[in-house]
């Protein structure tokens, strides 16, 4: 059976602890708290007798839960109060009121960009201008010359597949008709 290991601070071997990091006993903490409270009372009485400003003393806010000081920064922050009476000592600082933002001017409307024609739209235009049946490669070359932007390796195959899909989906209402194998012409009854 293995022993359960105690992992509290006091279970660390004394040889492993850094020098001066012994855990304080409750009696030591109580003694330090009593001394600080006594010094506080004495300084308060002296301040009343001399009329000294209250901010010259280290306030109790700068003391930790165990009576030890939290550090120079905590004492300095606690003594840096905006009120000489100590009413706001160590408390949160008041926020300045926000100024409303000025309303933004409306943006000028942008000019609409000309609609870019698709490959099928350009293919329908090319076939209507040609007046004769063309194969997909010729249609693709003329569509690219007319301004079709494509970065594919085989635009003619893409165009061929798109034309076949439209013919299959729309039937007689399609913009294209297949005349022979690989040849298409513009459909007079279609949407062209």
Tokens standing for residue 95: 């926020």
Task: Encode pLDDT of 110-137 as tens digits.
Answer: 888 877 888 899 999 999 999 899 999 9
73 pLDDT tier (thresholds 50, 70, 90): low
Please name the residues in contact with 66: beta carbons below 8 A apart, sequence gap of 6 or more: 24, 29, 32, 33
| Mean pLDDT of the region 30-48 | 84
The pLDDT value recorded for residue 105 is 86
What is the end-to-end Cα distance of the chain in Å, rounded?
A: 89
- 169: its two tokens: 């989906």
Mean of the per-residue pLDDT values of the chain: 75
The domain ranges of the chain are 24-91, 119-186
Tokens 């001394």: give the residue: 35
How many C-alpha atoms does 14 have within 13 Å on its Cβ side? 2
**Apex 107 CA angle, 101 and 110, nearest 5:** 165
Report pTM: 0.42
Reduce the DSSP state of residue 63 to 3 states and report it.
Answer: strand
On the question of pLDDT at 43 being above 60, the answer is yes
Q: Is the pLDDT of residue 71 over 90?
A: no
- Residues with Cβ within 8 Å of 164's Cβ and at least 6 positions away in sequence, in order, are 178
């Amino acid at each position: 059976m293995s022993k359960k290991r105690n992992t509290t601070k006091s279970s660390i071997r004394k040889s492993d602890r850094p020098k001066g990091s012994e855990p304080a006993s409750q009696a030591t903490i109580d003694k330090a708290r009593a001394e600080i409270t006594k010094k506080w009372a004495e300084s308060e009485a002296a301040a009343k007798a001399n009329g000294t400003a209250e901010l010259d003393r280290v306030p109790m806010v700068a003391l930790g839960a165990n009576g030890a000081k939290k550090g120079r920064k905590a004492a300095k922050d606690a003594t840096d109060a905006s009120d000489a009476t100590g009413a706001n000592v160590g408390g949160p600082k008041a926020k300045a009121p926000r100024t409303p933002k000025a309303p933004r001017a409306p943006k000028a409307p942008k000019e609409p960009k000309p609609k870019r024609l698709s490959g099928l739209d350009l293919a329908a235009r090319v076939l209507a201008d040609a007046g004769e049946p063309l194969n997909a490669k010729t249609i693709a070359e003329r569509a690219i010359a007319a301004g079709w932007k494509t970065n594919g390796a085989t635009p003619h195959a893409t165009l061929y597949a798109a034309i076949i899909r439209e013919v299959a989906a729309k039937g007689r209402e399609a913009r294209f008709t297949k005349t022979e194998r690989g040849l298409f012409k513009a459909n007079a009854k279609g949407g062209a």
